[in-house]
Amino acid sequence: MSRFSVPIAEAIWDMKYRLKQQDGTPIDGTVEDTWRRIARALAATEKNPAAWEPKFYAALEDFKYLPAGRITAGAGTERSVTLFNCFVMGTVPDDMGGIFDMLKEAALTMQQGGGIGYDFSTIRPRGAEVKGVAADASGPLSFMDVWDSMCRTIMSAGSRRGAMMATMRCDHPDVEAFIEAKKDPARLRMFNLSVLVTDPFMAAVKADGPWDLVFNNKVYKTLNARDLWNKIMRNTFDFAEPGVIFIDRINAANNLSYCETIAATNPCGEQPLPPYGACLLGSINLATLVTDPFTASAKLDPAALKSLVATAVRMMDNVVDASRFPLPQQRDEAHAKRRIGLGVTGLADALLMLGQRYGSEDAAAQTEAWMKKIARAAYLASVDLAREKGPFPLFDADKYLASGTMLAMDDDVRDAIRTHGIRNALLTSIAPTGTISLYAGNVSSGIEPVFAYAYTRKVLQKDGSRTEEEVVDYAVRMWRDLHGDAPLPDYFVNAQTLPPMDHVRMQAAAQKWIDSSISKTINCPEDISFDDFQQVYMAAWDQGCKGCTTYRPNAVTGSVLSVKETSETVPEAEQSAEVVYLTDPLDRPAALEGSTYKVKWPGSEHALYITINDIIISDHRRPFEVFINSKNMEHFAWTVALTRMISAVFRRGGDVSFVVEELKAVFDPRGGAWVEGRYIPSILAAIGGVIERHLIATGFIAGEGMGLKSDPQAEIVSIGAPKGKSCSSCGGYQMRMIEGCMTCADCGFSKCG
């Protein structure tokens, strides 16, 4: 009997985590094989692997412990991939050579799939003098544009992950331009932006005082602190960015403040990291640890929690040794501090099983108590590892115990650390778990409230058929199993109805015992006033949060999916649009089959050579990429542009035959040409004809003129009312903001992996 309780869970496993050969043939026959592969790989670093493999398997079994996606997909595959999710790159030097060295390092890291963070505060502001070249500096934003272009290039080469975080200090002279950068909808699309807010700045905001913008001890401008704060708030209100990171609070609470300074985070903000810092992630599924759910005796099993946390910490510590790293500096940093980020998922579902309303004072108190239990168990497990394997190399007992969250830790834990040391410098983090939560049976994500108790998901099959299924929250399914059709109690609240201040209360409660940070989105209603919106951020500051990320649906950011508590959620207009998109994002295998065609255009000295490569999915051959080459340099720019555009369309999946008709319809005003007895209206039309012949030969379309006449994704956009942003993977409109990252409810795709 399958371990998957809902079809979406199995679909996510098959698409993202199941080990397959390059041709798509499964190696992992079942999810048990996946668990066994991970357990074996992580036990291999132990002195006695045979003793630990079954214990690791038991932790993974039935989705109790959920390693982050990179570990689940990569461990035990013998592939050259990193198992780390989060990277902050090295400090960017304020010189041209150093800047482009950093760009190269970013490209190498992203090529292996790592999300990266950068602090651009170290680059001199726009207009500053550049000595020796008689010029003014172009400023950090101009270099961010270069990074953005690099990220798009890496993605076009086949990577699906392109998440980057850019930070800038609130006292940098270019911070105002940084704050407003996303007003241009075409700029910095590969970046999340966050302002590094300092304690003195917040004091100046509250005092309505002046604020200096400074670089290298030179004051470039003085302005009112509250005006700058309002500019941050207004842009976040209108454009959902920039976020806010309380950087002084992060450094003050850092267990390693004696040997590192943090100035950036990973893309979703849950991992503040030093230069070349890296962190791996994993989550305890709290929903699986509740006994007697929906009864008066319901509780989270404390013994099971303690045991599971200890095993998870050991597994994650082993990942540090088992993983590859894109750069040697990242490897050295990880080994010196052995940072891990153990968090939770299914929190909201667990609270529901205990009869508690997410966001209430009781739920916040329960959350704080659970997080403390996890922190204690994690730290004591790491002490046990230190006794066995030694503490992390940079451990200094006096300095460690006098810094960060250790000051609030219980005396017995502090005494154990002083006596035996600790294996991992930092241990806890609340990461985005959107995809692994679906994989675990649609448990609530991270510490977020339940997004929707039920919605309809369109399952778009590889063979072109389309089915619909109801996707039900884990706790709701459990309620139905116990109580049938009885209505849900009134403590079942969701992200759409929860007041923003309840979100803040929950984030602050969890943060007290999380030594890194938390990825969480505070959903705000579209009609929230600007004054009330600002108060959300002030509340986050006042209640001890390390950062704040909000999402307010509007015409710019897109509408959050509106969901009824029933399966009848798909608008009639959308149901009538018979458009087929593939469920899977199309990754590039190492080898593809293809054909090359020669086009000799009359009047042109050099021929065009068109190569079309195909991918095989479910025994069907479909176009994946195009290359157009010519020795004629006059053709270079437009052939490169056309190559990239057509390839991007092919990789998104679905019926892409409309590309043929679009190209064939292009007329050259200077006149076409007769080629092989047929009049071709332009060289672009000739290229369209070549692609059409290839699609016919491979069986993708039935015959000449049988391709779609227009882009079906454009058609679906025009039907009915605007629905906000579409998924770049499957074309659907079920996008939701989860833990700071837009995630598709149809296919599970997320920019954040």
> Residue 692 catalytic?
no
270 is a catalytic site residue = yes
Buried b (16+ CB within 10 A) or exposed e, 523-535: bbbeebeeeebbb
Beta strands (DSSP E) in 336-453 are 340-345
Cβ-contact 61, 55 below 8 angstroms: no
Classify residue 735 as left (phi > 0), alpha (psi -120 to 50) or beta.
beta
Residue 128 has phi, psi (to 5 degrees) of -70, 155
- Tell me the C-alpha distance between 340 and 174, whole Å: 34
User: Is the preceding omega at residue 272 within 30 degrees of 0, hence cis?
Assistant: no
Take residue 446 and report the two structure tokens written for it.
């991270």
How far apart CA 212 and CA 172 sit, in angstroms, is: 9
| SS3 category, 65 | strand
- For tokens 């199941």, what's the residue? 18
Q: How far apart are CA 403 and CA 394, in angstroms?
A: 14
**Of these residues, 235, 251, 255, 266, which one is catalytic?**
266
- Is residue 661 part of the annotated active site? The answer reads no
Q: Report the alpha-carbon distance of residue 468 to residue 48 in Å, rounded.
A: 48
Cβ pair 448, 521 in contact under 8 A: yes
Of these residues, 151, 268, 730, 741, which one is catalytic?
A: 268
CB 105 within 8 A of CB 327: yes
Helix (H) or strand (E) holding 194: strand 191-197
Q: How far is CA 144 from its chain centroid?
A: 19
- Of residues 584, 570, 558, the one with CA closest to residue 747: 584
The set of long-range contacts for 130-139, using a CB threshold of 8 Å and a minimum separation of 24, is 139/174, 139/177
Q: How far apart are CA 549 and CA 533, in angstroms?
A: 11
Neighbours of 253 (CB within 10 A): 23
How far apart are alpha carbons 23 and 321 in whole angstroms?
30
**Dihedral over Cα of 324, 328, 329, 331: its sign:** positive
- Radius of gyration of the chain measured on its C-alpha atoms: 27
Rounded Cα–Cα distance for residues 5 and 10 (Å): 8
Residue 70 identity (one-letter amino acid): R
Q: How many CA atoms lie within 13 A of 373 on its CB side?
A: 19
Residues 6+ apart with CB under 8 A from 372: 512, 513
- Looking at 53, 241, 260, 270, which residue is catalytic? 270
Q: What are phi and psi of 441, to 5 degrees?
A: 100, 25
Which backbone phi and psi does 76 adopt, to 5 degrees?
75, 10
Handedness of CA 416, 422, 426, 429 (dihedral sign): negative
Taking CB atoms within 8 Å and a gap of at least 24, the contacts of 18-25 are: 19/73, 19/76, 19/77, 22/589, 22/590, 22/591, 23/589, 23/616, 24/616, 24/617
Within 10 A of 285 (CB to CB), how many other CB atoms are there?
Answer: 25
Query: How far apart are the C-alpha atoms of 9 and 17, rounded to whole Å?
Result: 11
Cα–Cα distance, 367 to 655 (Å, whole number): 47
Q: Please identify every residue annotated as catalytic.
A: 266, 268, 270
